[in-house]
Structure 1
C-alpha cells in the first residue's frame, strides 16, 4: 500500500459522512498488519504538506496501535498484530525529528507514543536513544533543543513509578543533567514564554528524578550548589507586570509562575525528604546529606522564601496560590529544625498576622464562586477531601504545627491576634466592619480547636463565653458566609461541653435555622454541624419531632450537590435515631432509592463517549464525586436496614423498594458500587433469615454479574450467596438450575487465575454451605468438589498449611460429614485417602475455632458409625487415632467456646464504647509540652515512617525460604451454620454408646490404646452430655406443662 492511499484513508476518518468514516476505518483495520504500514505513517507525520487534521488522526491511531502491539517478545499476546522490526526501526530513527515539525496537538499524542516505546525498549533495544537526545540538546536550534528536553522528560518518566532496577535513571541523570543545568542557567535570564516552557520541562525532569531517591550525583555539592542556586534565582525572578493577565484565574496558570511553583516544589522536596534531620529519622541513609543540607542550604532557602513573602505582604509582588502553598509547606517543615527555626522565629508573628491570616479570610474569589456556582463552592471549600488538596491547606497545617510545636513562643500571640481582630470588628461602626476579617479570625481559631480544648491549654473554659460573644450572633448575620462559619465553628469545637444548657439550646436553634437558610452552602454547613451536635442528649431529644423534616432536607441537599459528606450525616442520623425513624422507613427508603437513581442517571450522562477514535470524557472528578455520593446513599440504606433487623416484615417490604437500586447497579455493571450493593443484598437476606421471591428474582442477575464483571468481588458477593443457600434451602434444593449456577461459581473461584488464595477461600466456604445445608440431595457434586479441592492440596506438605489449604481440608471434611461412605469411596478411587487423613490429623491444632472443632467431631462421629470392616484399610490401621483426635478436640473446646463468648460480648458492647481520645490527646499534649522552643522537633510522621522501616527490616531478616503460614484464624462472630445448634457432647455420647452396643469390633479397636487420662476425659465428656441433655429436657418441660419430667438413664 502506498503513502497516498493511506493518507486518503486517514483523511476519510474525519469525513462528515459517518458511512465514509466507517468504511475508511474498516479498510485501515484490514491493512494495518501489512509490513511497512507504520513506516508509511511516519512519512505522513514527517511531511510538511499534510494538513493538521490528518496528522492528528494518524498520531491518535499510532498511539493506540503502539499501546496494543509494541510489546516485548517475552509478553504473550492474543489477537494482536505485531509491529514489524523494520517499522520499529523506522519509528525510532525519525520520531525526534518529527516532533520538531508537528504542531502541538499532534506532538502531545506522539510524546505519549514515544513514552510507550521507551517503556518497552529502553535501554536494551534502544541503546543510542540518549545520544540522540544529547544531540538535540546540544544544538543552537531552539525548536530542536525544546524537543530534546521533551524527549529527555519522556525517558525519565519511564522510571517515575518503577520500583525495580533504576540504574539507567542514575546514568541518565549523571550524563544529561549537567547539560540541562547549563541550558536552564541561560534560560533563567530571559523573559520569553518559550524560555519559561523549556525551564518548566527541566524543573519537571528534576522533580521526577528526586521523587523517591536522590542519586549520588545530585547529592554532591558540585551538582547541588548550582541546582539550588538556579532554583532560588527562579523563585526570586521578577515577572514584568505587563506580562500578567488581568484575569486572576489566567494569572494563576501563567507559565512563569508554573516554573516558580516547580522550583519551590523541588527545593521543598530536597529539604523535607532528604535534607531535614528532624524529619528523616536516625536510620535514614541520607543522614549525612541532611546534616550538610540543613546547614548549607536550609537557611538560604528560608531567607529567599521570607524575602518573597515580605514583598508579597507589602504588595510589591504578586504570587500565585501554588507558590504560596509551597512557601507554607516549607515553613511548616522548617520550624521542626532548630537552625531554621532560629531564623524563622523573629518572623513568626508577622507570618501569622500577614501571611497566614489573609489566606484564611473569605476572599473575592470565594464570593464570586459562592454566587456563580454554589455547588462548586461546596465541593471546593466544604468537602474535606477537596479542602485537603486546596492551596490554603498547607497554610492551615503550618499554623497548626506552629501552634503545637512552638507552643510556648507563639500560641498566645496567635490568640491575641485573633482576639484583636474580633474586638475590632465588634467595636467598629457598621459601615467600617470588615466581615471577611472576622471570618478569617473564626476560621483560624477553628483550626486550633483541638489545641484549645486540650486539658493543659488553660483557655478551654473561656470558649463558651467566646461563642456567646463572637459566634452565636453570626447565626443572624447579613453575610451568608458568616452564618456558615458559625455552623462550622460548632462542628470544629464539637468536643466542647456547654456548662450553660441555654447556650447549647441557642446553638441548636441557630443550626436548625441555618438548615432552612436561603443560601445552599449555609444549609449544607448546618447539616454537617448537626451531625456532631447530636452527641448531646438534649439535642437528640429536641431533634426527634423534626426528624422527618431533617431527613427530607438531607435528601434534598444530596440531590442538589452529590456530596459524599452529606451521606455520612444521613447514615449517622439513621444509626442514632433508628427507633424513631422506623415509622418512616418505607418512605425514607423510597426517597433514598430515588436519590440514588437520580445520581446514577447523572453519572451515566457524565460518562465517557468515544469520538473519532479518542476517548473524550467530561470531568472525571465529577464522575468520581457522583460515585462517592451514590456510595454514601447506599451505605445509608444499609445502615437503615441493619437498624430494622428486628422487623422482618418491614424489611420484606423494603426489599421491593430497593429492587431498582440493585438491578440498575448490576445490569449496568457499576463496579465501583458492587461492595455497597452486595452489602444491601447480604443485609436483606441475613436480617430476615429468609429469601423472598423478590430476592430470588435477582439471583440469576447476581450470577451473571459474577461471570461478567464480578469475579474480582467474590469476597463481597460470597456472604449473599451463603445466605441464599442457608436461608433459602428448600427452594434451592428443588431448583437444579440454581444448583448449577452455584456449582459453576465454585468451580470458577477454585480455578480462575484472576483470584489469589485468600479469594479462593470463598469457594471452599461455598462448598461447606452447600453440603451442610443440603444434606442428602447434592450427591452429584461431592466428587467434583473433592477434585477441585485436591488441585490445591496435591503438593501440600503435612507440616505446612496456609489458611486457604486449611479451608480446602475443611471442604473435604464437609464431604465426609455429608456422606461418609460416598466420600471415602471417591477418595479411595483417586488414591487420596492416606494423603488426606495424614494432612488433616497432622494439622489438627489448626482447628482452633468452635465451628472447626464441631465439624471435626461430628465428621469423625459419622465415620465411627460405619462398621470398621467397611472402612478403607488405611483407616482400619489407624482407627484408634480417630478417637484420639476427637479427645484432642474436646480437650481444647471449652477454651475455644470461652474465647468465642468473650468475642461475642465485645461485639455486643462495641457500639456502646466511645472512642477513648484521652490517651491520644494526652500524648499530643505531651509532645507539645516537651518540644523546647529552640530545639529540634521530631516529626510524628517521620517517627512513624522510621518505625515502619525498622519493622520492615526486622521482618525481612526473619523471613525464611519455608512457606509462611498465614495469620491465625479468628472466630467469625456473625457466621451461622447448621452446626451451631448441634451439641457435640451429646452427639459424641450417643455415637460412642451406639458403637459400644452395636459394633464391638470397632469399639475395641478404638479404645485399645486408651490410658487413664483419656478414659477420664471420655467420662467427663459423657457427664457433660448427660447434664446438658437433662438441662435441655428440663427447659422443654418447663415450657410444656402437659408433659411429665423425664430423664434419660445411661
Structure 2
C-alpha cells in the first residue's frame, strides 16, 4: 500500500465510517475490513491519527482500527501477520512525540503502545522504556503528561504477564527504574502540595494528575516487581512514605473543602494510596508484617476515633475497614494449632496483632462499629419511605463488601467478632441488656441504636449460640416488640422479624413455631411494605428449616398463603416479585398436596405475571420454579393448568427462541414434572416433544433431564408417543451413540430398554436400528461392565417379550457377519454366561435367567450345547431372588408383586406421582415381577424332558456340575 496515495483513500473510508447514515457507513466498514490484511494499512492509520488537524472522530476510529489490528496481526504466527519491517517502522512512529491534544485519543494511543509492548518489549523494542523515562522529564506539561500516561499503561500491561520468564523481565525492569519512579512521584507530589496551598487550583490539578499517574506506576512496580520486597530498602521506604502522604492528602481534603476543583482527583489519589497497601498485603503477606502495626494504627485512628472527623469519606472508610479485615483474617498471621509448628513470621505477626488489639481497643472498635456504622443512614431511611422495595431487596441482598460501606461494616464486625469473641461477646450482651423493654418512639436515636444492636445479634447468631437463650428472649422481649403497632416502631418490627429469621436454624424450639406463625400472620398484614417483605423472607427461612413440621403449619396455611399472594400482587419491582415467588415456591414445596385447596388465585394470576415479565428473564425463571412446585403439589389436578403451562414449556425449551438461554434448565424441569404428574396424554402435551431433537443435538449438561422426559412420555403413553416420534428419536440416538461417553451410552440404552419393556412389539420395531450394535456388543464382549449390563438388559427384554423379533434380528445379523445364525446365538449365550457378574441389579439378573430359559424347550444342538450355562445362570438368579419361609421351609420368589397398594405415607414422605403409579401398574405385568422364577425353571426343564425323553434329558443334565444340580433340586423340590 503506497502511503501517499493510500492515505486519502483510507481517510475517506474512515470519514464515511463515522457517518450516521448506514448506507454510507456499511460499505466503508466493509472496505476497511478488507484493507486490514494489506501491507502498509497500519502505517496509513498511524499517519492519520497522528495528524492533529483531522476530525477527532476520524482520528479516534483510526486508533481503534490500529488497536484491533495488534490483537489480530501483530504476532509473528498470526495469519496475515505484519512484516517485521512494517512493525519496526510502526514502533518508531508510535513514540516519536507525546503531544496528543485530545485526552480520549491519548489514552487509546497509550493502551495501543502497551499492547505492542506486551508482545515486543524488551527484546524487539529495547528503546521504549528509555524513551519514556526521558520523555517524562521534559518541561512541556502536555508531553510530560502523555509520556507518563503511556509509561503507566506499559507498566500495567507488563506487570500482568504471568509466565516465569516475563515476570523475571518485569522484575529486572522494576529494579532498574524504581528509584526514578519514586523520585518522579515525590517530585509531582511535592509540586502539587505547594501549588494547592498557594491557591493555584488549576495548575495544582495538572500536577495532581501526574502524581496519580506516577503513583499508579509505582503501585504496579511495588506489588509485582520484586520477589523479596522486604529486602529492598527503597520499596519499604516507599510503603512507609505512603502513610505520611496519606495524612498530607487527607489534611489537604480538609483544607480545600468539598467544592474544590481538585476534590474528586484528591479522593481518587487517597484511594490509590490505600490500594497500594491492600495489594501489597494481598500479594506479599509476610513482607507486609513490618507494616501491620502502622496500618492498624492508621486505619483505626481515622475510622474509629475523632482523627477522622471532617476528612474521611465513604470509599476511604471502606478501604480502611478492608485493610483491618485482611490483617485480622489473614491465615499467614495466625499461629498453627500446635505452636511449635508455627513459622517465625506468623508468630511475629500474631504478636503484633495481639499487642495492638487490647481489650480496650477491641471494645472501642466494637462499640463504634455498632453505634456509628451499623446505624441506618438518613439516605437509607429516605429510601425506605420513597422506594420501599429497593430498600427491602437491597437490604436482604447486600452489596459487595469490597466497595459498599454497609456490607463492609458487617463483614468486618463478623471477622473481628469471630477472632476476638471472648472480648466482644460481653460488650455486645451489655449493649443488648441496655436496650431491654420497648423503645421510646419519640427518641429516634434510641430506635436506630436498637436496630443496629439487633442487626449485630442476628449476624453473630452462630457465635452467640452458648451465650443467648433465644427462646426466652423471644417470648419475654421480642414478641412484645412485634406487637407495638406505632408507625415509627416499624423500624424495630422489621428488624426483630429479620432477627428471628437469623436464629431459626441456630436455636429456636420447635414448640415455639405456632407462636411464630401467628406473628408472621399478623406482620404479613403490617401497614408497612418493608415489614411485610421482611416477614415473607423469615417465613421462607422457617419453612425451609430442618425442624419444620407440616402439621404445626397447616392451621395457618390458608391465611398466610393468601397474604403471600396479596404481597406478590402489591409489589412492582422484578427483584421483589422474584423474592416473594421464592417464598411461595418454598411453602408449596414443603406442604406438598396440602396446598391444593388454596392455589386458585395464584393459578389465575401467574399467566398475567408471565405476560408482564416478557423483558425480565430472571423473573420468568422464578415463575418456572414456582410452577414446578405447583405442579408437584397439584399432582393429577395440574392438567387444569395446561392451557397456560404447555405454551410456557414450549417457549422455554425451544432453542430457536432467544429466551431459552435463561429458561431452558427450569423449563425442562417443569416439562418433566408436568409429565410425571399428568393423568393422561393430550395432543398438546405430545406436540411439545417436537422441541426435543434440537435439545439432544445440544448434548449439554441438560441431556440427563431430556432422557428423563423421554422416559416419562414412554410411561405416559408408549403407543402414541412411539408412533409419532420414535423414528426421529432413533435417528438422534444413532447420532449420539457415535460420540458420547459410556455414561451417555447407558442413558440412551436405558430409554430403549424402557420402551421395549413398556411396549415390547412397538418398542423393538421402532428402535430396530440401534439393536444390531447391542447384539454385536454382547457377542464381542463389551469391556465396560455397566454398558454390558445395559446391553444384556435390552436383549433380555427382546428375547423374553418379543422372541419373534429376536429371531429376525439374529438372522439379519448372521447375514451381515457372514455367519450361521446358530453360531451367533451360541456366541451370545456363551458371552452372556461369562459376563453375568457384570449385572448387579437383582431385577436384571432375574431377567437374564428368564430370557435364556425362554429358549427352552429346544432341540437346537447349539442351545443344548449351552444348556449347562443356562442352568448355571438360572441357579445364580434363584439364589438372588428366592427367600426361605422359616415356618413352612419353602422358598418364595421375593420379586413377585400380586396387587397394587396405595402406600401409607408419613408427613415427611412425598406422595406418589402419577408416573410412580404407572410404573407400579406396569411392574404388575412385567415378567420379572409376575412370573415365579422357581416355577418357570421347573416348567422349562419339564418341557425339555418331555421333548427329549428321560434318557436324553438325563444325558443333558449330566453336562451340569453336580453341586449346581443339587442346589437346583433344593429350589424346585416338591413342585
- Please give the range of the TM-score, normalised by the shorter of the 2 chains: 0.7 to 0.9
RMSD: 5.0
Give the deviation of 1:679 after TM superposition: 0.6
Q: 1:782 to 1:65 in 2, by over 3 A?
A: farther
Give the deviation of 1:774 after TM superposition: 4.2
Q: Which residue of 2 aligns with 1:9?
A: 13
Q: 1:363 aligns with which of 365, 377, 397?
A: 377
8 Å Cα contact 2:174-2:221 kept in structure 1: no
Q: Which residue of 1 aligns with 2:968?
A: 1018
Q: 1:764 aligns with which of 739, 749, 755?
A: 749
Write out per-residue CA displacement over residues 119-178 of structure 1, whole angstroms, 9 at most, x where no aligned residue: 9x689xx9536874575357534423432331332344454xxxxxx3234324422333
Give the deviation of 1:203 after TM superposition: 3.3
Q: Which residue of 2 aligns with 1:238?
A: 249
Q: 1:983 aligns with which of 900, 924, 928?
A: 928
Q: After superposition, where does 1:901-916 map in structure 2 within 5 Å?
A: 912=908
Q: 1:400 to 1:733 in 2, by over 3 A?
A: closer
Q: After superposition, where does 1:330-729 map in structure 2 within 5 Å?
A: 330=326, 332-333=328-329, 338-339=350-351, 340-346=353-359, 347-371=361-385, 373-383=387-397, 390-420=404-434, 422=435, 426=439, 430=442, 433-452=445-464, 454-455=465-466, 457=468, 461-468=472-479, 471-472=481-482, 476-478=486-488, 480-495=490-505, 505=515, 511-517=520-526, 519-533=528-542, 535=548, 540-557=554-571, 560-562=574-576, 564-599=578-613, 601-603=614-616, 627=618, 629-645=619-635, 648=636, 650-665=637-652, 666=654, 667-688=657-678, 690-707=680-697, 711-729=700-718
Q: Aligned to 1:644, what secondary structure does the other structure show?
A: helix
Q: Which residue of 2 aligns with 1:993?
A: 939
Write out per-residue CA displacement over residues 880-921 of structure 1, whole angstroms, 9 at most, x where no aligned residue: 4454345445545679x99999xxxxx99998399xxxxxxx
8 Å Cα contact 2:675-2:712 kept in structure 1: yes
Choose 631-640 or 710-719, whichever is displaced more.
710-719
Give the deviation of 1:412 after TM superposition: 0.7
Cα distance in 1 for partners of 2:355, 2:461 equals 27
Give the deviation of 1:341 after TM superposition: 2.7
Is 2:140 the partner of 1:148? no
8 Å Cα contact 1:722-1:766 kept in structure 2: yes
Q: 1:342 to 1:827 in 2, by over 3 A?
A: farther
Which ranges of structure 1 fall in alignment gaps of 5 or more residues? Answer: 75-80, 160-165, 276-289, 604-625, 902-906, 915-971, 1024-1048
Q: 1:979 to 1:425 in 2, by over 3 A?
A: closer
8 Å Cα contact 1:45-1:98 kept in structure 2: no
Cα distance in 2 for partners of 1:229, 1:900 equals 83
Write out per-residue CA displacement over residues 605-664 of structure 1, whole angstroms, 9 at most, x where no aligned residue: xxxxxxxxxxxxxxxxxxxxx52x43232212111111222xx2x221222221232233
Q: 1:66 to 1:373 in 2, by over 3 A?
A: farther
Give the deviation of 1:366 after TM superposition: 1.9
Q: Aligned to 1:688, what secondary structure does the other structure show?
A: coil
8 Å Cα contact 1:853-1:889 kept in structure 2: yes
Q: 1:25 to 1:722 in 2, by over 3 A?
A: farther
Write out per-residue CA displacement over residues 975-996 of structure 1, whole angstroms, 9 at most, x where no aligned residue: 9596684326625752663365
Q: 1:788 to 1:269 in 2, by over 3 A?
A: farther
Q: Which residue of 2 aligns with 1:175?
A: 172
Choose 63-72 or 480-489, whichever is displaced more.
63-72
8 Å Cα contact 1:264-1:326 kept in structure 2: no
Give the deviation of 1:511 after TM superposition: 4.2
Cα distance in 1 for partners of 2:937, 2:682 equals 38
Q: 1:467 to 1:821 in 2, by over 3 A?
A: same
Q: Aligned to 1:493, what secondary structure does the other structure show?
A: helix
Q: 1:378 to 1:128 in 2, by over 3 A?
A: farther
Give the deviation of 1:414 after TM superposition: 1.9
Give the deviation of 1:714 after TM superposition: 1.4
8 Å Cα contact 1:857-1:889 kept in structure 2: yes
8 Å Cα contact 2:111-2:154 kept in structure 1: no
Q: 2:762 aligns with which of 764, 777, 788?
A: 777
Choose 95-104 or 583-592, whichever is displaced more.
95-104
Q: Which residue of 1 aligns with 2:325?
A: 329
Q: Aligned to 2:761, what secondary structure does the other structure show?
A: coil
8 Å Cα contact 1:750-1:760 kept in structure 2: yes
Q: Aligned to 2:677, what secondary structure does the other structure show?
A: helix
Higher relative contact order (CA 8 A, sep 6+): 1
Which ranges of structure 2 fall in alignment gaps of 5 or more residues? Answer: 137-143, 193-207, 336-349, 884-892, 898-902
8 Å Cα contact 2:94-2:113 kept in structure 1: no
Write out per-residue CA displacement over residues 819-840 of structure 1, whole angstroms, 9 at most, x where no aligned residue: 4334445655358969988887
Q: 1:269 aligns with which of 282, 291, 308?
A: 282
Q: 1:575 to 1:1012 in 2, by over 3 A?
A: same
8 Å Cα contact 1:174-1:217 kept in structure 2: no
TM-score (norm 1): 0.71
Q: Which residue of 1 aligns with 2:734?
A: 747
Give the deviation of 1:590 after TM superposition: 3.9
Cα distance in 2 for partners of 1:813, 1:110 equals 72
Cα distance in 1 for partners of 2:425, 2:506 equals 19
8 Å Cα contact 2:318-2:403 kept in structure 1: no
Q: Which residue of 2 aligns with 1:957?
A: none
Total equivalences in the alignment: 879
Give the deviation of 1:54 after TM superposition: 2.7
Q: Aligned to 1:602, what secondary structure does the other structure show?
A: coil
Cα distance in 2 for partners of 1:247, 1:909 equals 74
Write out per-residue CA displacement over residues 921-959 of structure 1, whole angstroms, 9 at most, x where no aligned residue: xxxxxxxxxxxxxxxxxxxxxxxxxxxxxxxxxxxxxxx
Cα distance in 1 for partners of 2:219, 2:111 equals 19
Q: 1:633 to 1:22 in 2, by over 3 A?
A: same
Q: 1:298 to 1:331 in 2, by over 3 A?
A: closer
Q: 1:13 to 1:974 in 2, by over 3 A?
A: farther
Q: Which residue of 2 aligns with 1:1027?
A: none
Q: 1:1005 to 1:541 in 2, by over 3 A?
A: farther
Cα distance in 2 for partners of 1:910, 1:88 equals 80
8 Å Cα contact 1:729-1:773 kept in structure 2: yes
Cα distance in 2 for partners of 1:1020, 1:230 equals 94
Cα distance in 2 for partners of 1:791, 1:50 equals 75
Cα distance in 2 for partners of 1:794, 1:91 equals 70
Q: 1:11 to 1:491 in 2, by over 3 A?
A: same
Q: Which residue of 2 aligns with 1:308?
A: 302
Is 2:872 the partner of 1:884? yes
Q: After superposition, where does 1:130-169 map in structure 2 within 5 Å?
A: 132=128, 136=132, 139-140=135-136, 141-157=144-160, 159=162, 166-169=163-166
Give the deviation of 1:588 after TM superposition: 1.9
Give the deviation of 1:343 after TM superposition: 1.7
Q: Aligned to 2:626, what secondary structure does the other structure show?
A: helix
Q: Which residue of 2 aligns with 1:853?
A: 845
Q: Aligned to 2:643, what secondary structure does the other structure show?
A: helix
Cα distance in 2 for partners of 1:408, 1:995 equals 80
Q: Which residue of 2 aligns with 1:229?
A: 240
Q: 1:199 aligns with which of 190, 211, 215?
A: 215
Give the deviation of 1:118 after TM superposition: 8.6
Q: Aligned to 1:430, what secondary structure does the other structure show?
A: coil
Cα distance in 2 for partners of 1:858, 1:72 equals 69
Q: 1:316 to 1:768 in 2, by over 3 A?
A: same
